Amino acid sequence: MKRLSVKAIVLGALVMIALDLLTGVVSYIVFGGDALQPGATPEDIRTVAERLQQNDGYLLTALVFGTATTVLGGYVTARMARQLPLLNACALGIVGVAIGLVLSGPGDSPLWFDAIGYLVIVPAAIVGGYLGKRARTG
């Protein structure tokens, strides 16, 4: 499709993924740091990760951060797209859903978490796209 900007969508996705990784590491340290002592084995780290997937505070923080990074990715995508910034931001949201489906393993997190996470990706990207469009037009 000529009106979709692959470059804008890819850049928005890269921003989203980089910030997801950063906020994920910070959240992991904040919520699981007490169990991560120097010399922790891979098994210790895996145990902490499994425990965090049952920690509602951690999961809610992950949802908030994930939604915020998606809004920012939509913003970047809309700012870069020459035409139809909201359509490009929506495409980023669809790409985000696809990435999430590919990277998540079965049973990694509770159903409520996955359901909310997938339901907010496209709308969050569109909100970011709207903000990016407004910033472009002044």
Average pLDDT over residues 34-57: 81
**Other beta carbons less than 10 A from residue 100's beta carbon:** 15
Q: What is the pTM of this model?
A: 0.88
State how far the Cα of 5 lies from the Cα of 83, in Å rounded to an integer: 8
Average pLDDT over residues 95-116: 86
**pLDDT score of 35:** 66
State how far the Cα of 117 lies from the Cα of 128, in Å rounded to an integer: 16
Average pLDDT over residues 97-114: 84
101 touches 44 (CB < 8 A): no
Residue 36: which pLDDT band, with cuts at 50, 70 and 90? low
Average pLDDT over residues 11-30: 92
Residue 21: which pLDDT band, with cuts at 50, 70 and 90? very high
What confidence tens digit (pLDDT) does each residue in 52-81 have? Answer: 888 999 999 999 999 999 999 999 999 999
The residue type found at 116 is I
